[in-house]
Amino acid sequence: KKVSTRYREWKEIVMWAYSISLNYPSLASIVQIGNSYEGRPMLVLKIGNHKSAKKGVFLECGIHAREWISPAFCQWFATEAIRTYGKDKEMTRLLDSVIFHVLPVLNIDGYIWTWTNDRIWRKNRAPTPVDKCIGTDLNRNFNASWNGIGFDDEPCSEGYAGTAPESAPEIKALTAYIRENLQSLKSYISFHSFSQLLLYPYGYTEEVPPNHEKLEQVAKSAVKALSSLYNTTYTYGPIYTTIYPACGSSIDWSYDEGIKYSFGFELRDEGQYAFLLPEHDIEPTCKETMLAVRNIASYLIDRD
């Protein structure tokens, strides 16, 4: 079977990433950005024409352990981008001007836990101040109104924000990498499931960001491209009003760091299978999402 037509465990994802970088050295390279709490290497695959590409787009997958379609999409994206470079005109144009920094699994320890112990685990696997409760919600641990509206300081709950902004080693490593690449990064996209939404900042306030009209226009166009394949319905809008208030999340942080095209996808489905999206849906989900991501990236290469 092809890559990402089934869900892959962490070991397979590592082997897949290394084989891509070895087989396509001019289009792909691996950077280790840090280590997970349990010490596993956090890998970013940089995909693009390293000679000509000046802009960067960051793709963050697997922040929530149980949302398996998210890492599957990052794998699909990287594989498909490389496969079609030099064949598909638009993909060639994209990779000639953009490096995609693909983080296939941000929450590695949690992801492994969903394979071995608890399929619906969400958080990382670091201890908390409460002995019997494990894990910080990594999408509440960013330094973006960290203890603002909806803040959860209960270590035993699913949305536990951690002891301080960036207290999770996974988030410390990721934010350091983003800061190092701020000059080139034009977009930051976070992939979750489920609900079929395309979100943009803010989640920590009802106020809309300065360029919200542009964000809305880009989101509208991306959703239109996505739906063109199988008629999948997506809703778009700010996190706060489209899903719920959420502080300390990745795309609010990346936006406030200056990455003005920060988006969050909530991929398929609408709740029927929810986090347990069947493998049969991986391919269509990835194909339609690819159209949306390409649409966003194309918009960006034609502007500063």
Task: List interacting residues with ligand 0X9 (CB under 6 A).
Answer: 64, 67, 139, 190, 192, 199, 203, 239, 243, 246, 249, 251, 264-266
Active site residue 266: yes
E strand spans, 96-253: 98-103, 185-193, 197-200, 235-238
Q: Taking contact as CB under 5 A, which single stretch among the options 67-75, 166-174, 221-229, 287-295 is the one that binds Zn ion?
A: 67-75
User: Which partner in Zn ion, ligand 0X9, none is near 266 (CB below 5 to 8 A by kind)?
Assistant: ligand 0X9
Rounded to a whole number of angstroms, the minimum distance from the CB of residue 122 to Zn ion is 7
CB 197 → ligand 0X9: shortest distance, Å? 7
Of 170, 164, 80, 165, the C-alpha closest to 124 is 170
Helix (H, G, I), strand (E, B) or coil at 220: helix
Contact partner, 199, from Zn ion, ligand 0X9, none, Cβ < 5-8 Å per class: ligand 0X9
**Tokens 């700010």 correspond to what residue?**
238
The smaller minimum CB distance to Zn ion, of residues 88 and 158, is found at 158
Using the minimum distance from each CB to Zn ion, give the nearer residue, 140 or 192.
Answer: 192
> Is the CB of residue 206 less than 8 Å from the CB of residue 150?
no
Q: Which residue is nearest to ligand 0X9 (CB)?
A: 264
For the record, the structure tokens of 38 come out as 């349990």
Binding residue count for Zn ion, defined by CB under 5 A: 3
Q: Are the C-beta atoms of residues 146 and 165 closer than 8 Å to each other?
A: yes
Out of 38, 266, 270, 279, the active site residue is 266
**CB contact set of 93 (below 8 Å; sequence gap of 6+):** 298, 301
Closer residue to ligand 0X9, CB minimum distance, 266 or 269 = 266
Q: Which does 55 bind (CB under 5 to 8 A by kind): Zn ion, ligand 0X9, none?
A: none
Contact flag: residue 64 with Zn ion (CB under 5 A): yes
Stretch that binds Zn ion, among 23-31, 46-54, 108-116, 187-195 (CB under 5 A): 187-195
Helix (H) / strand (E) containing 197: strand 197-200
Q: Whole-angstrom Cα distance, residue 291 to residue 223?
A: 9
When binding is defined by CB under 5 A, the residue of 192, 260, 268, 294 that contacts Zn ion is: 192
List Cα–Cα distances, 211 to 198, 262, 267, in angstroms.
Answer: 16, 11, 24
Q: In terms of Cα–Cα distance, which of 67, 64, 71 is closest to 8?
A: 71
Length of the chain: 304
Residues designated catalytic: 266
List residues binding Zn ion (CB under 5 A).
Answer: 64, 67, 192
